[in-house]
Structure 1
Amino acid sequence: MNSTEDWFFQIPPTDPKTRHLPLLGSHWPITTIIALYLIFVLKLGPKFMENRKPYNLKYVLSAYNIFQVIYNSILFGCSIYYLFISPRYNMRCMTSLAFDHQDKNIERGLCYAYFINKIIDLLDTVFFVLRKSYKQITLLHVYHHVLMTYPIYWGMQFYGFGGQYSTLGYLNTGVHAVMYFYYFISARYPELKGSIWWKKYITKLQLLQFILLFIQPIYVLSYSPGCKVPFFLHMLQLVVSASMIALFGKFYYLAYVRARPQKSLKQE
């Protein structure tokens, strides 16, 4: 690389632990998972269900959603502890912990657990297909799930674990804990679904997290110009956050601002 590329990408030494964890040793496992996911939810799944009745997954979904609530709540609690209660990062410049830092394995564990959770999240769409809830398989839904899985793998490969880009995961686990709690109530007690008044605030939380993530790199670039977080990650975070703000903003507008009683859109 030339000096400009070095400044833009600033790829650090590879974390020696990266290739020893399941699914991180090669790009083929996660690439295969994403490819099979897209093929199933966009083509094979609907074809398989074409002449079948929707599956009744009430109890499966109840168990799945409560698992997600617990999983995301634990990750969110750990993240809050290491971000604010006993902080390991400088919020003005969130670089990854050094390889020999005493809490490096905790940082690795949190990031890896989040990555695994994003793979598990792909089941959301599989369940939509099996229930023939095709209106929920929107561009926002599929884009969100793929974007929250595949790039994370490459981020860990090139930039290791933790640091500024992991903030996305730290915020996202809190939002998802609330979201899956709503899903749990909806699946377990469908008669209450229409009376859950706080449903729209889940989308507001989604929007808020991406607005904060959009502001973060601007803040760092403005007030900590010497920060060693790669410029490429700043730009990537800005682009991803902006796209999510646009998509979730459109969803919120259609679902809650311009929505008609007979035509409601489903929460992501």
Structure 2
Amino acid sequence: MYEIFNRPPADPVQLPLTFSPWPVTLIVAGYLLFVLKLGRLFMANRAPYDLRGVLKVYNLIQIVYNGILFLLATFAFVVIRPYDIKCIMVLPQDNPFKTVEHVLAYAQVSVLHVVHHAAMVLAVYSGLRFYGYGGHFVLTGYLNVFVHCVMYIYYYISSQSQAVKQSPWWKQYITIIQMLQFLIVIAHSIWTLKQPSCNLSPYPVALVLFMGTLMFIMFSNFYVHNYILPKKNKLD
């Protein structure tokens, strides 16, 4: 374990937080500590804060941010075309496409929510440090900014309309979009592994395949328990 964490980074040009495992580890640990313990203790005897104004601004920023990223990435994939979609190789840090790609990578309190955000941060860090920038992780980031753009459009509209907020339709189909995202990631990973001429290391592909499968299982479980079983119970 010591040798793994002290292995030289795959790319000598380092981004902030990638020079050592400790910054990311401490950030994730702090996040989990606050969400699972300190946050609950802090709010135990307090009324919920009214954050509607803050959330409206935050949602608008996220819509613009993710929308611009998606458009830039689409332009890069369609016009610049730095990758072969069948075998997305790692690019050196000084490649011009990295400007878009770096941001793509970074990308209710439930088990799904907590595991998703903690695991994604650790997976992105592991990919950047041990395999370099981009590569097979790019498609996941590309799909993710589109999904988040749709999600934050819903969050903003629901903050303005009580009817939308109370309707399960939006939430149900956003969850379906999220599951489709992970199915595409799973299918693309399997497709890449089957390319005989692809010189990409199988380990990052396996990592993406594992994370995509884990997320699909968790989102599917969430979907079944929130949108299928309640309807079945009503019919019974």
Normalised by the length of structure 1, the TM-score is: 0.78
Aligned to 2:201: 230
Q: Structure 1 counterpart of 2:222, which letter?
A: F
Pair 1:142-2:114 in alignment: yes
The equivalences for 1:166-245 within 5 A come to: 166-195=138-167, 197-222=169-194, 224-245=195-216
Pair 1:15-2:11 in alignment: yes
Q: Structure 2 counterpart of 1:259, which letter?
A: P
Matched-pair contact (CA < 8 Å) for 2:91–2:132: no
Tell me the C-alpha RMSD between the 2 structures.
2.4
C-alpha distance in structure 2 between counterparts of 1:17 and 1:165, whole Å = 18
Aligned to 2:124: 152
Matched-pair contact (CA < 8 Å) for 2:172–2:227: yes
Matched-pair contact (CA < 8 Å) for 1:12–1:159: no
The equivalences for 1:13-92 within 5 A come to: 14-18=10-14, 21-92=15-86
Gaps of 5+ in 2: 1-6
Pick closer, same or farther for the CA change 1:254–1:13 going to 2, 3 Å: closer
Normalised by the length of structure 2, the TM-score is: 0.87
Gaps of 5+ in 1: 1-10, 119-135, 264-268
Aligned counterpart for 1:112 among listed residues 93, 102, 106 = 102
Residue 17 (structure 1) shift: 2.0
Aligned to 1:129: none
SS for the counterpart of 2:64 is helix
Pick closer, same or farther for the CA change 1:38–1:140 going to 2, 3 Å: same
Residue 239 (structure 1) shift: 1.3
Q: Structure 2 counterpart of 1:227, which letter?
A: C
C-alpha distance in structure 2 between counterparts of 1:53 and 1:13, whole Å = 46
Greater shift, 42-51 or 159-168, is seen at: 159-168
Matched-pair contact (CA < 8 Å) for 1:58–1:188: no
Tell me the number of residue pairs that the alignment of Structure 1 and Structure 2 aligns. Answer: 228
Residue 162 (structure 1) shift: 1.2
Taking only the aligned residue pairs, the percentage that are identical comes to 41
Aligned to 1:125: none
SS for the counterpart of 1:88 is coil
Pair 1:95-2:89 in alignment: yes
Residue 178 (structure 1) shift: 0.3
C-alpha distance in structure 1 between counterparts of 2:177 and 2:79, whole Å = 22
Q: Relative contact order (alpha carbons < 8 A, sep ≥ 6): 1 or 2 greater?
A: 1
C-alpha distance in structure 2 between counterparts of 1:50 and 1:213, whole Å = 40
CA-to-aligned-CA distance 1:83-119 (integer Å, 9 cap, x gap): 234321111111023456xxx1332x23332344x3x
Pick closer, same or farther for the CA change 1:190–1:22 going to 2, 3 Å: farther
Residue 218 (structure 1) shift: 1.3
Pick closer, same or farther for the CA change 1:12–1:42 going to 2, 3 Å: closer
C-alpha distance in structure 1 between counterparts of 2:218 and 2:52, whole Å = 29
